[in-house]
Amino acid sequence: MRSKIVAGNWKMNKNLAETEALLTELAAKLPDTQAEVMVAPTFVNLAAAVHTLDSSVIEVIAQNMHFAESGAYTGEISADMLLNIGIDTVIIGHSERRAYFGETDEILAKKVKAALAKNMRVMFCFGEELDDRKSDNHFKVVESQLKNALFSLEASDWGKIVLAYEPVWAIGTGETASPEQAQEMHAFIRKTITEAYDASIANNVSILYGGSVKPANAVEIFGKPDVDGGLIGGASLVADDFVAIIKAI
Ligand code: PEP
């Protein structure tokens, strides 16, 4: 059985006091849910976030990590550093990392392997750009992103993978994929994984949708059979909105 997951990606937002305040509010308002709830604050506030959420089921996750164990990588963070402060899930491949920080499929494949080697859980993000969709290349692009970064993994690694399909044209734009577009792509992703591995792996991996999920559209999107939750940007920065999205699952 695959898990339902709602994760908030806070990106480069919220200082320490704001992080603690939002987490305290979220923990207090968290609805009763079977879904896993995760938040990804900025690196400098991760340890404080873990401490603030000590007695909550909300999991703190990281937005990124480097593939090297340690060494001369100024400004970077290793898997061990995350594990050391109690974080064992990491987002890899967010479209903003790909677009602004030059993260290629090859780099992402290394990051995924490095995280898995440390027994971390990986939330792997991917999705097509607007031009890809307009030119009807979106399935091809998504297939190649998955193949390049994930399809050399062992079958046994897939228990530690969560997928987040995030069409780039829907991230932070207010544009959302329709529930039908999300379902169509999620079903395609499962078919692609079935072909590369098998149906059991495809059916057991959680596939989240990301891209302008809001309280107003979450019920419809999460209602689709192959959508197992969401990766939420903007709306996760407002406790009541994030809570409403969690309720929608
Ligand atoms: C994201 O950045 O992962 C995201 C989905 O952002 P937003 O919800 O703001 O579109």
- Joined together, the tokens standing for residue 249 give 């699952």
Residue 106 burial (CB < 10 Å; 0-12/13-18/19+)? exposed
Q: Report pTM.
A: 0.97
pLDDT reported for residue 190: 98
What is the percentage of the chain residues whose pLDDT exceeds 90?
96
Atom of ligand 1 at shortest distance to CA of 94? 3
Q: Is 183 in the pocket of ligand 1 (CB under 6 A)?
A: no
Residue nearest to atom 7 of ligand 1 (CA): 233
With CA atoms as reference, report the closest residue to 207 among 217, 220, 222.
222
CA–CA gap between residue 133 and residue 197 (Å, rounded): 26
Whether the CB of 230 sits within 6 Å of ligand 1: no
- Pocket lining: 95 vs ligand 1, CB cutoff 6 Å: no
pLDDT at 57: 95
Q: Please say if the pLDDT value at position 1 is more than 90.
A: no
- Per residue in 80-98, pLDDT tens? 999 999 999 999 999 999 9
Mean pLDDT of 10-25: 98
Looking at residue 176, its pLDDT comes to 86
- What is the mean predicted confidence (pLDDT) over 19-27? 98
d(CA 74, CA 68): 12
Average pLDDT over residues 107-123: 98
Write the residue with the smallest CA distance to atom 1 of ligand 1: 233
Q: What is the pLDDT of residues 150-194, one digit of tens each?
A: 999 999 999 999 999 999 999 988 788 999 999 999 999 999 999
Cα 171 to ligand 1 centroid, rounded to whole Å: 5
Task: Please list the residues that pair with 89 across neighbouring strands.
Answer: 121
State the sign of the Cα–Cα–Cα–Cα dihedral 133, 139, 140, 142: positive
Residues noted as catalytic: 94, 166
Residues facing residue 124 across a β-bridge:
92, 163
What local confidence, expressed as pLDDT, does residue 175 receive? Answer: 81
In the reported structure, the alpha carbon of residue 165 is separated from the centroid of ligand 1 by a whole-number distance in angstroms of 11
pLDDT tens per residue across span 34-82: 999 999 999 999 999 999 999 899 999 999 999 999 999 999 999 999 9
Q: Provide mean pLDDT across the span 8-20.
A: 98
The pLDDT value recorded for residue 153 is: 98
Residue nearest to atom 8 of ligand 1 (CA): 233
